[in-house]
Structure 1
Amino acid sequence: MSTTITRKAWGTAHGEDVFLFTLRNSAGAFVEITNYGATLVSVNVPDRNSTPGNVIIGFPDLDGYLHDTCYIGSTIGRYANRISNAGFDLNGRTYELEANDGVNTNHGGASDFNSKIFGFEINDEELVMVLHSNDGDGGFPGNLSLRVTYTWSDLNALNIHYKAVSDKDTFANFTNHAYFNLSNGGLDILDHQLEINAGKIVDAGDDYIPTGKIIPAAVLFDNTRLGDKIAIKAGRPKGINAYYILNNNAPFAAKLTHPTSGRTLTVTTSYPGMFCYTGDYLNSQYLNTNSRTCQPFEGLCLECQYYPDSMNRPEFPLALLPKHHVYDEFINLKFGLMSVK
């Protein structure tokens, strides 16, 4: 690789300095990341005509992220997705968490990592975001240290590597919450095509809390146009909000394609599943001179992660991080072009 990493001042939050980092490869394609929430701000890659464009939703300045309520591009922790009744039992003790989704916890509650200021290291061609979360943050046990390492290759592949350790048994589940839109400016993702290597999902109720059942996926994605999978219920579009259990030994977890631009995104991961969210409730506001509000279905989330609510569902693989053990997972986002037929 021959990636260069630069940074510039991007404002302050919570009395701390915030920076915007640019990782640029030898072809000129680049990604931008801020230490506010260890957030992915932009991914700039060419289309079939070699025209560069940003393929995720992001804000042009820090204010957008300070006011965001949709976790746009951010690192999620301590536990991605939902935890029923905002609590769990561990080692004979009941832990009460922050309820921020009715009576449930979503994405770690109000102490979620999306609003934390991360420390950082630049190690040759790696950008490392570091965060210490105190014992009791959000109700979770253990002093937890997290390192999120970003690398950007000459092949336009962004690798996100999570490593963490805690001094107490705890539950941990980290992911990135980017909203993808490969069209660079298109107002929705309905003309994108999606393939997910999964045949089963975690069954969930209307509140998105798992029932404990593993069921065949009612919506299968096999290079399927997303707009064809958006149903109309109670007079409004209803998209996909489901945890897909990835097939073992599949060559990739998911592939997103935009036929008009020719851009593709291939996702590989060490996680056992992926939460597919079509942005049904997307409503964060762009705070710039062309102020407008992000619209539903403007971006698609492909959140690689452990099973939701696993600590309260003995049927699921347990996302326990034993004390002094190392959490070690990755998400790889490879941006490319459709093959010419």
Structure 2
Amino acid sequence: MLSKTFHRALISLVLTFVLLLMGTIMAGAVSVKMENWGQYRGEQVYLYTVTNNNGAQMKVTNYGGRITALKVPDKNGDLVDVVLGLESLKGYIENPNYFGPVIGRYGNRIADGQFTLDGKTYHIAQNNGDNHLHGGFVGFDKRVWKIKAVENNNDVSIVLNYLSKDGEEGYPGNLDIKVTYTLTDNNSVVIDYMAVTDKATPVNLTNHSYFNLNGVNDTALDHQLMINADYYTPIDDEWIPTGAIASLEGTPLDFREATRVGKRIEEDFVQLENGAGYDHNYVLNTEGDLDQVAASVYSPATGIFMEVYTTEPGVQFYSGNFLDGSITGKYDKVYNKHDAICLETQHFPNSPNVNHFPSTILRPNEVYKTTTIYDFSTK
């Protein structure tokens, strides 16, 4: 006769097997569900849904390593989806954009699509006029990553891997990347980046989520924004840093105190470089300290409060200037100008061409490692 212990173990094994067949893993009250989301150029695309003990939920796909949904509680305890996105894989493929993906090999712009490294000039994809933007024509946002769920204590992480081959979009070196998304029980999204290379190359990875703490159904101009920075990098008429590091004092870019996003867009619109809105790199005061708040955003409508922590020296504040009403996203919402904001933690744009900016060069036998946390609460 089977012992009770063996009987219970057998039942547990059967239940685990059934859950795995259903694409669901349990870690305490935390769960992650996997579903087939289609194919892209012969590669299988999956969508993972992670739910924490509070009911907060994050959805991640291996097409571009994208966060497609992020639902967190508002001041009434109701879940609100705070990131823009599309309903299907087909939508992401047919509407090339940067809703929620991993950006690389180099986030932001590199002037004239070229840089010189160790005496050799490299010509990379010019996909933004004469300049290079967000990794080129086929950046990491349009690649199919390897994906898996990993249990760690009471958390489940989604781990993404991609090998960017030597010469991809013009970059040197085989770059092996791992990006880990973790939704914690205190409603934080922790993003850990790691990479190694076999040849010296620029690396500047970030996430390009569009945040609207009202629930992607309204403008983000009412959001209260704070950025912990005294300086920024001014740009020319092609959004390329001039090389200067300038004070924010007295400029419409100063968010050292929490200020409504739309206040200075409305009052000082023509004073913003390029006249389109905010799309600027801020030099953070935090010096890579994860215990210091780099930026925060608050929605008076929902009471949702997001704090950003990062080991990166900069953050790009982008106010959704090029959302033009041509894309219908989740919940049949048409995305219009300023319907969301991005806070892309990063090294500075065009750093490979500006010697006094923090270096973005990764060399063999070094490890690229950086962390960004988006922490959600209410007040």
**TM-score interval for Structure 1 and Structure 2 normalised by the shorter chain:** over 0.9
In the alignment, the residues of structure 2 paired with residue 214 and residue 288 of structure 1 have an alpha-carbon distance, to the nearest angstrom, of 39
Aligned amino acid, residue 259 of structure 1: P
Partner of 1:299: 340
Aligned amino acid, residue 323 of structure 2: L
Of 46, 52, 60, the match for 1:33: 60
How large is the Cα RMSD of the aligned pairs?
1.8
**Structure whose CA Rg is larger:** 2
TM-score normalised by length of structure 2: 0.85
| 1:287 to partner: Cα distance | 6.2
Partner of 2:159: 128
Alpha carbons 2:85, 2:329 under 8 Å: kept: no
Moved over 3 A (4+): 231-234, 287-290
| 1:23 to partner: Cα distance | 1.0
| 1:237 to partner: Cα distance | 6.9
State whether structure 2 residue 78 is matched by structure 1 residue 51.
yes
Partner of 2:282: 244
Of 285, 309, 313, the match for 2:327: 285
Alpha carbons 2:216, 2:339 under 8 Å: kept: no
Partner of 1:92: 119
Partner of 1:81: 108
In the alignment, the residues of structure 2 paired with residue 123 and residue 324 of structure 1 have an alpha-carbon distance, to the nearest angstrom, of 26
Aligned amino acid, residue 364 of structure 2: K
| 1:233 to partner: Cα distance | 3.6
| 1:12 to partner: Cα distance | 1.0
Aligned length: 336
| Cα distance change, pair 259–288 in 1 and its aligned pair in 2 (3 A) | closer
Structure 1, gaps ≥5 residues long: none
**Which deviates more, 154-163 or 64-73?**
64-73
Aligned amino acid, residue 202 of structure 2: F
SS at match of 1:268: strand
Of 269, 280, 297, the match for 1:256: 297
- Indicate the percent of aligned positions where both proteins have the same amino acid: 36
**Greater strand share, structure number:** 1
SS at match of 2:316: strand
State whether structure 2 residue 40 is matched by structure 1 residue 20.
no
**Greater helix share, structure number:** 2
1:136-194 CA-to-partner distances (Å, cap 9, x unmatched) read: 00100000110000111111000000000000011100000000000014321011100
| Cα distance change, pair 44–220 in 1 and its aligned pair in 2 (3 A) | same
Q: Does 1 or 2 have the higher relative contact order (CA < 8 Å, sep 6+)?
A: 1
In the alignment, the residues of structure 2 paired with residue 267 and residue 232 of structure 1 have an alpha-carbon distance, to the nearest angstrom, of 26
SS at match of 2:343: strand
TM-score normalised by length of structure 1: 0.95
SS at match of 1:114: helix
Of 347, 361, 368, the match for 1:327: 368
SS at match of 1:66: helix
Partner of 1:181: 212
| 1:289 to partner: Cα distance | 8.6
Aligned amino acid, residue 183 of structure 2: W
| 1:232 to partner: Cα distance | 3.5
Partner of 2:241: 210
In the alignment, the residues of structure 1 paired with residue 60 and residue 275 of structure 2 have an alpha-carbon distance, to the nearest angstrom, of 32
| 1:75 to partner: Cα distance | 0.6
In the alignment, the residues of structure 1 paired with residue 306 and residue 323 of structure 2 have an alpha-carbon distance, to the nearest angstrom, of 21
SS at match of 1:227: helix
SS at match of 2:234: strand
